[in-house]
Copies of this chain bind each other. A is one copy, B any other.
Amino acid sequence: MSHNTFGHLFRVTTWGESHGPALGCVVDGCPPGLRLSAADIQHWLDRRKPGTSRFVTQRREADEVKILSGVFEDDRTEGPRTTGTPISLLIENTDQRSKDYGEIRDRYRPGHADLTYQAKYGLRDYRGGGRSSARETAARVAAGAVARTVLGVGVSIKGALIQIGDQKIDRNAWDWNETEKNPFWCPDVAMAKHWEAYLDAVRKAGSSVGAVIEIVASGVPIGLGAPIYGKLDSDLALALMSINAVKGVEIGDGFASASATGESNADALRMGNDGKPVFLSNHAGGILGGISTGQDIVVRFAVKPTSSILTPVPSVTMDGSDVDVRTVGRHDPCVGIRAAPVGEAMVACVLADHLLRHRGQIGKS
């Protein structure tokens, strides 16, 4: 119900603004007895951190996470473990430079939430976008790290950029190892090289471009999800669409399946050598009738180009005058790049929640 909580049994409540003292989240419903330290979470936060390459914002944030509750190190156990009570995670804001944002106080930046926040709430924290800042996604990544612990090592969730602007990767060149080697989470080594020059040009022009991110979850057991309003794909769509700047979500073949025929779209089945049914393809993206099939879960989401650009865009001021807005400052030329770890985290949270919900109703884990 809440506007800042998601999940049902594995629940995440986030809070915090770009320029407040800190941001964070409360993860509730985590099973007890799982090993969890701040370092386990920090590992994932460091992947999202600003300032790691010239292609992302140069804002310098340590993004150091503290665990304030919900874990306990007993001298009878090895290392801190979850206790089953709410896990409060806090990340301080250290590099705020509020002077950068002074001039946007009185005007609405096109493509941003300035106008709608002001219209809805009658006031807004205009410093760095306030609540709508991309900084909020740090809390998602922290929560996703806890979710991964719930899912266990058998489930792997990886993200890749498959398109920046109109430049798409060659899927035949896909190599997951490459995603950790370039600043774009790009699985196509040649395209990663190409994107460097491409994005440099975009950045120098003071422009921006969008992106498409693909997340693949492997090792997800068959049976997670539920019919109708508890569909796994519905909850994935909700979770991914909630990320800043996302404008589309698709599962498996997605929009391309509209053009397919029943024959070409069918994922045929055959009995495998181990006596279990085996799918011969995965157009469905690992979900049938809202429930996981045991195949890889494949989701993609589209991120719009950063709205903060050097080119002036017509807009209006709060007192009703026309104005042209031109944004200088520390902005990502493609916010999609840092969205890959965020997308992974959201998928992890959805899967952890459905794992707990499944065993709640069915009684098996």
Contacts and interface: CB of A to CB of B under 8 A. Distances in A.
Contact of A269 (B121, B207, B283, B316): B316
16 contacts: A1-B9, A3-B28, A3-B229, A9-B361, A17-B72, A32-B122, A84-B361, A117-B289, A119-B291, A163-B259, A209-B258, A237-B237, A256-B302, A257-B304, A262-B306, A268-B313
Shortest Cβ-Cβ A-B pairs, 5 listed = A113-B289, A360-B360, A3-B230, A248-B250, A116-B291
A15 interface: yes
A344 interface: no
A172 interface: no
Given A1-B1, A29-B3, A115-B293, A212 B268 contact: no
A301 to B, nearest CB: 9
A74 B106 CA distance: 11
Contact of A229 (B6, B16, B24, B108): B6
A302 B85 contact: no
B165 A259 contact: yes
A5 B115 contact: no
Contact of A360 (B237, B288, B322, B357): B357
A148 interface: no
B238 A314 contact: no
A38 to B, nearest CB: 12
A8 interface: yes
